[in-house]
Amino acid sequence: MASGILLAVVVSVTAAITAGQQNSYEAQQRIAGALAAEELLGRLIVAEYSTLPTYHGQTENVGAMLDMNAQPMPELYGAIGRVVTVTTVLQNLSSMNVKVRGREVAVQTFDGNGRTLAEVRTFVPEPAAQSQP
């Protein structure tokens, strides 16, 4: 009887530890995915406005992400990929009754199963036309 109880306790503890490790790995992947998405979005929002559409569809496959110096990302990001979406939109600022043309830039990260880990997006307004002197 005591052996049966001890076995049940050991199995329960083992299952709890395994579930905890899985949850920890999942959280690590999501955090790394969010960081990778923010890193690329940060580079894109300072790019020349006219070049933003050239990034649409840019995909870095799992394990093939590059940093701003075109170097492989650290090992922590080895199980993550990312894709960029750029769309031209007309943003309605209803509080000021103004419409602003610009581009919505989104970066989505994913794992080896194609599951989305994180997505970040921002609106980049079209620059004002330069007047000629």
pLDDT digits (tens, 9 = 90+) for 71-122: 999 998 999 999 999 999 998 887 888 889 999 999 999 999 999 999 999 9
Q: Are 131 and 125 in contact (CB under 8 A)?
A: no
For the chain, the domains span 2-125
Is residue 51 within a helix (H) or strand (E), and if so which, with residue range?
none
Query: So what's the pLDDT on residue 22?
Result: 83
Name the band, by pLDDT with cuts 50, 70 and 90, for residue 132. Answer: very low
Query: So what's the pLDDT on residue 35?
Result: 95
